Amino acid sequence: MTREIFFGRIEFLIGIGLLAWFVYRLWQRLIIDIARHELFKIRNTIFLMAADGELDFNSAEYRDIREVFNGLIRYCHTLTFPKIMAALFLLKPRRNQIAEILSRIDDKKLRTKLEAEWRKAAEILSLSLTLRSPLLLLVIMLTVPLAGALFLLDYPRLKGFYAKIKNAIEHDLLLERYADRPMTQAV
């Protein structure tokens, strides 16, 4: 083995080590910090709803919602794709705690606002879960182009797409043909 090959392999191993350190340390912490920050903002929005009098601070609903968000913020780092999959397959289904809490709120407008905030939190957690899992990112990067190809290969959709392109080209050709003529002759 020559020196160049030896040092090339050492550089490769160091690069792989640095990449793994970045993905499993720095990237993970960054994504968790961003998710927690966004969850704090949502919890603060709900606090402001209560401060404005839309929701009573002393109500069981407010305390329960706040407790759910505190739990999400506290345990956000433990939420991983393998744990979610294991829970789905090994644990029996439980009631949806947040849906139960929101169903107890009589004011429909307030309930709709809180449901929107909960949807934002669920999106943040889903995105966090996806961005923290290298395996899940790889699966998504492979399936999205495949799904796009299948979408394009759908014959009726492809036929309509082809017809739109054909009409656009014919239209452009007609415009080019009559571009030099005065407007009265083109009509």
**Region 100-129 average pLDDT:** 90
Confidence of residue 113 (pLDDT cuts 50, 70, 90): very high
Same domain, residue pair 117 and 171: no
Token readout for 16 is 């792989």
- The verdict on 103 and 124 lying in the same domain is yes
Shared domain for 158 and 134, answered yes or no, is: no
Q: What is the pLDDT of residue 181?
A: 65
Q: What single-letter amino acid sits at 82? A: P
For the stretch 80-106, pLDDT in tens is 888 888 887 887 776 678 888 888 888
Same domain for 160 and 142, yes or no, is no
More confident residue, 14 or 170: 14
Lookup: tokens for 32: 């968790």
Residues 51 and 131 in one domain: yes
**pLDDT value for 10:** 93
Amino acid type, 179: A
Give me the domain span that covers residue 51. 3-147
**30-40 exposure pattern, b = at least 16 Cβ within 10 A, e = fewer:** ebbeebbebbe
On whether the CB atoms of residues 77 and 33 are closer than 8 A, the answer is no
Statement to judge: residues 15 and 103 lie in one domain: yes
- What distance in Å separates the CA atoms of residue 150 and residue 7, rounded to the nearest whole number? 45
In which band, very low, low, confident or very high, does the pLDDT at 73 lie, cut at 50, 70 and 90? Answer: very high
Share of the chain above pLDDT 90, in %: 32
DSSP summary character for residue 59: S
Summarize the confidence of residues 129-153 as an average pLDDT. Answer: 81
What pLDDT is recorded for position 67?
Answer: 92
DSSP SS3 for 30: helix
Global model pTM greater than 0.75:
no
Predicted pLDDT at 88:
79
Q: What is the pLDDT of residue 182?
A: 63
Place of tokens 């309930």: 111
Domain count within the chain: 2
Tell me, what's the pLDDT at 183? 58
SS3 category, 114: helix
pLDDT at 12 over 90: yes
Task: Report the distance separating Cα 21 and Cα 9, nearest Å.
Answer: 18
